[in-house]
Amino acid sequence: MGMIMEIMRHPDELYPLMKLILSAKLVEMKTPVWLSQPHWAFCYATLRKVSRSFALVIQQLPSDLRDVVCLYYLVLRALDTVEDDTCLDTEIRVPILRKFYCHFYDPEWHFSCGTMAFKVLMDQFHHVSTAFLELGKNYQEVIKDITKRMGEGMAKFLCKEVETIEDYNEYCHYAAGLCGLGLSKLFYASGREDLAPESLSISMGLFLQKISIIRDYLEDINEVPKCRMFWPRQIWSKYANKLEEFKYEENSVKAVQCLNEMVTDALLHAEDCLIYMSNVRDPGLFRFCAIPQIINMGNLAMYYNNVEIFKGVVEMRRGLCAKIIDQTRTMADVYRSFFDFCCIMESKVDRDDPNASTTLKRLESISKTCINSGTLKQRSVIFTSHFFLEIYLSLSVYDSLSSTRKFYIFNHQPEFIIPFLITSFLIMLAIHLSTKIP
């Protein structure tokens, strides 16, 4: 029912959503080579299970890089699974993390940890090792080096809490900054791109990682048998004695103020991301890089000043994600979306918030970069002013309307909308029977 209501409120998202569902189905069908090679069949099937969204985004890549990035992603997900399994003692996980890169050359190695699809990935890691050995030596060296450095960093922070902002940046560097650096090196090794500056590559990963850490507050704090805390004490201790206090309603004002400071910190990396993406030449690589950044900038706009973060996962709705995936083509699209999401955040700033002035300065700086690009008028259909109004209503206004007002909005759609929606929904339903929405 929730999906139907989303479609009825945003009928313009139905077409890209249907395309996304069909794309997911085509990805599953487009595997003749993989099926003839069990290790690659395992890799792509597992990729869809551990991240259906990434399995779609990876399709933007040129065919010669698709296998490489698929393998790279699975290796880092496996490493992350070891780090995340709090059921295992730290003494067990630390040596595994530090020597993880050594096991690529041992097709018999596996390590049981994690749950569900992640456990299958770890139990049958020999398929990943076999696939790794088929990659070119230049790709192998990049993956091995990044895995080694990430493993060392993760091991360090299993034995150390994130106390300062410097610690926070260092942890995010190991957890995702190095991932961004590795991708840039893989793009360079393919001959498709120049080697991007290291600082920009790292910022691409830091931006996404910090947004994920904000989003996962409740999941991490409720982790059993032991909670995980990645929000830096230097920030949260200004607002509470214990990080877990933010999940209680009586602390919501301080919780949101802390949240806003975390969002403001993440915004530091946005301009580096814009510079990085503006230098990507290959259209496929550009879309691969740009789509996650736009979606996460949108998520950041949702998180800002939003107490719901402390009650559960808050994410951009699927239809809007589908629209971004379908229609992101150029840097003009990226600048337009970043500019629009900055406008949304600016409209949500409470002038009494302790970090309001810093937040506004960072939003102004990002917006100025977008304006100075001279491309804001070169917008595709998705990035029109109507789209800006529509996402603002979606993120900030619609859910706060009274039921009477919602009824009025719904019943004052053009007359053709309802039959169109019914027909389209039946088509979607037929597709959905065999394909889950990512």
Looking at the annotation, which residues are catalytic? 171, 215, 228, 288
Q: Are 75 and 132 in contact (CB under 8 A)?
A: yes
Contacts of 430 (CB under 8 A, 6+ apart): none
Alpha carbons 68 and 57: distance in angstroms, whole number:
14
Closest CA to 153 of 101, 87, 227: 101
Nearest to 319 by CA among 424, 242, 409: 424
- For residue 403 the two structure tokens come to 């039921």
Rounded Cα distance between 274 and 181, Å, is 16
Nearest to 229 by CA among 217, 241, 238, 237: 217
Q: DSSP code of 331? A: H
Q: Count Cβ atoms below 10 Å from residue 108 Cβ, excluding itself.
A: 8
Which of 91, 51, 73, 78 shows the shortest CA–CA distance to 151?
78
3-state secondary structure of 163: coil
